Amino acid sequence: MRNDIGAALRELREAGGKEAKAVARSAAMSPSKLSRIETGKATPTVMDVERVLTALGVSDEIRAELAEVARRAATEAVAWRLHRRMGFAQHQDAIKAVESETQTQRLFQPSCMPGLVQTPEYVRAILTGKQLTEEMLSRTVGARLERQRVLYQAEKSFRFVITESVLRWRLLSAPEMAMQLDRIIAVSRLPNVWIGVVPLSASMGEVPTSSFVLYDRRLVIVEIPHAEITTREPRDIEVYRAKFDRFESVSLTGDGMRSMVGAIRDDFLRERETG
């Protein structure tokens, strides 16, 4: 299958008269990576195939045909150590490319703030301990902040569900945590953004495990401690869609959510004043 997909992508590119460098640039990958995929020397991830097909601008029929081939290995896991080796900034660019093709993004996060609403200080805290040089760290922070511009594209919609524990988990100093919570409140007022918080007092029939993101009904990315799992298998996507809906149904939203977040923010601010 690896050779079939690579050869098919190469044939489509050549038939369209597109240069490899131009396609690689549009697909947010290096020319050498595209070359390895096309020659069968590297196995493309689902995300890789998605980005290359978008860059090629193929018809829906051809896209569906190749998607079917990709589903033979629909679930793939990429260890975080490989992302570190390839570059976390490049990984942010890859996610940005997927987000650009997504109409509705649904995210459930039980452990940290969603990437699209993180402050620069919070991004740096998240990346602490990942053995990045200062240059790599700065590039990755910049790439994540650049991704956040997608929130202001009115034609797209975003539905984020986080747990109350995320608001209280002290990755930063009290003043910096207050700034991060202010960011949550501000973003929640955008007309195309919906943010829900599952309170610790909510009656739940299941435990929050891993974070995951649904991109329309075509792709799910799940984060676990050692790897990032990507699937386009429809049955798997529906599992995560149903799980998201259950968490969303018990979430505080709107003014109620903002009141909760504001109260926790005020606690952080009082801690600063009395510290």
Greater confidence (66 vs 176) lies with 176
Sequence-ordered alpha helix ranges (H) in the chain: 2-15, 20-26, 31-38, 46-56, 60-70, 80-86, 88-100, 120-127, 134-147, 164-168, 174-188, 234-249, 254-274
3-state secondary structure of 1: coil
Give pLDDT tens digits for 80-110: 666 666 777 888 888 998 899 999 999 999 9
Q: Among 3.40.50.850, 1.10.1740.10, 1.20.1290.10, 1.10.260.40, name the CATH number for the domain at 1-73.
A: 1.10.260.40
Residue 3 pLDDT exceeds 70: no
CATH topology classification for 74-83+101-119+148-274: Endonuclease; Chain A (3.30.870)
CA 254 – CA 124 distance, rounded (Å): 28
Q: Which part of the chain is CATH 3.30.870.10?
A: 74-83+101-119+148-274
CB 169 within 8 A of CB 112: yes
pLDDT in tens, 157-188: 999 999 999 999 999 999 999 999 999 999 99
Contact criterion met (CB below 8 Å) for 221 and 160: no
CATH 1.10.260.40 in the chain: give the residue spans: 1-73
Determine what percent of the chain is predicted with pLDDT higher than 70. 91
- Write down the pTM of the prediction: 0.75
Q: Are 2 and 43 in contact (CB under 8 A)?
A: yes
Cα–Cα distance measured from residue 210 to residue 64, given in angstroms and rounded to the nearest whole number: 29
